[in-house]
Amino acid sequence: MREYLKFYIDGHWVEPAELRTLEVINPATEAVCGHIALGSATDVDRAVAAAGEAFKSFSRTSRRERLELLQRIVVELEKRHEDMARAITEEMGAPVWLAQRAQARMGAAHFSTAIEVLKRYEFEERRGATIIVKEPIGVCGFITPWNWPLNQMACKIAPALATGCAMVLKPSEIAPFSGIVLAEALEAAGTPPGVFNLVNGDGPTVGAAISSHPGVSMVSFTGSTRAGVEVAKNAAPTVKRICQELGGKSPNILLEDADMKAAVTAGVNAVMLNSGQSCNAPTRMLAPRKRMEEVIGFARSAAEATTVGDPNGNAQMGPVVSEAQWNKVQGLIQKGLEEGASLVAGGLGKPEGLEKGYYVKPTVFANVTNDMTIAREEIFGPVLSILAYDRVADAIEIANDTEYGLSAYVSGADPARLMETASRLRAGQVQLNSAPMDLMAPFGGYKMSGNGREWGDHAFAEFLETKAIIGVAP
């Protein structure tokens, strides 16, 4: 049983202003696996004050000092890799293989990426008698989700430290253990007191206090579009910068010349990864109508081959994160059935033999039209919708017919056709033929999928202000 009843503020683990606790539920067992303290506006005030004071000196550190700090953090994260993986499996149900190979690896990966960017990043540019300077923005507030917890914390903290900012983090209260392990690693690495602060709590209390705080210069939020709108409203009166990575309903266009078995299998596997709880999951598969029968067959085979079970075993897929999430996914599967989509695999209820735990059947619908609820709403579960198209122009129109624009996917054999299709998709990232992840590629969305960009050198811009110094002597 994990008991995390303190916050990390100004380099110390401190008691909350008023002790209120929350049970953390293991989604694989539905049992309480720990408790955290819930913070208040008072705790946020204390953390922001510490960050503001630390910023005065940390913002003036040299490139070399910040590189050395980031390098020490990578070392500490590698030391704590197994601890981090166990925490992630316990708090949000990621299978051990996924927690170890991907979830827990993302921390050191983002800090290593920040190191490479910082080595060559230009903070000054001279234009005649004017010098344009990029300076750290100030105290940053981070509000992060439960689905890829370490990834979302690290991709904010790493560039913020690299650019000289101080920060206050609120991890998800649903999956808070990984945030504590990260804070311990940052402390062990010698992060100066006050530069990094952690306050646990819920969105309406701690999240709102961070996003509205006049001492916070920017807020980076990852989560649902609904919650992102609230963060923006809270931030508006203080005119702070907002960077948001929000929801998605990503299209996956299979061109007619694609290796259909490989493309469909890869698409289904990408949806089922992490139990479908990825904002960039390719949940709308657009396939040529004339090849629909074989596409459905390949999708059925891939879904039925996906094993579901105890995340501490060998299953490919564990549970979804909570009872509330399970109920939401079940409601949307029911909606798909009611609106006339054809159930290809999976469906309502829990997989056989898994009565305990928030497990969902790997589900595939065919004969989906883009006006159906399952094609419009972000389900955030292992549910794929297959839609038919007649011409590539129709596929592009369907793909763009969404309020979201985070990611898109295209598979095909002709490089020119791939590029032409990608160029017409309104999304922040377009992945061709299941290309591997690129941590240097900017990550973020169009439309209601957010604003701003994370990862690589584009992330640095979110944490910098631009100053023009005019009339500089030669």
Active site residues: 245, 279
Residue 183 in contact with residue 154, Cβ under 8 Å?
A: no
Residue 387 in contact with residue 368, Cβ under 8 Å?
A: yes
The pair of structure tokens assigned to 167 is 């920060």
| Calpha distance 461→173 (Å, rounded) | 28
Beta bridge partners of 470: 130
Residue 38's φ and ψ, nearest 5 degrees, are -100, 125
CA 302 to chain centre: 25
Helix (H, G, I), strand (E, B) or coil at 187: helix
| Calpha distance 327→106 (Å, rounded) | 29
> Parallel, antiparallel, or unpaired for β 407-411 and 429-432?
parallel
Q: Which residue has the tokens 């006049």?
A: 214
- Given CA atoms 109, 113, 118, 124 in this order, what sign does their dihedral have? negative
The pair of structure tokens assigned to 456 is 């690589």
In order of 148, 266, 319, the CA distances from 417 in angstroms are: 33, 20, 38
| Calpha distance 192→141 (Å, rounded) | 17
Instruction: Residue 100: name the closest of 113, 115, 84, 112 by CA.
Output: 84
Output b/e per residue, 390-417; b: 16+ Cβ within 10 A.
Answer: eebeebbebbbebebbbbbbbbbeeeee
| Calpha distance 5→364 (Å, rounded) | 42
Beta bridge partners of 244: 221, 451
DSSP 412-448: -S-HHHHHHHHHT--SSEEEETTPPP-TTS-B--SGG
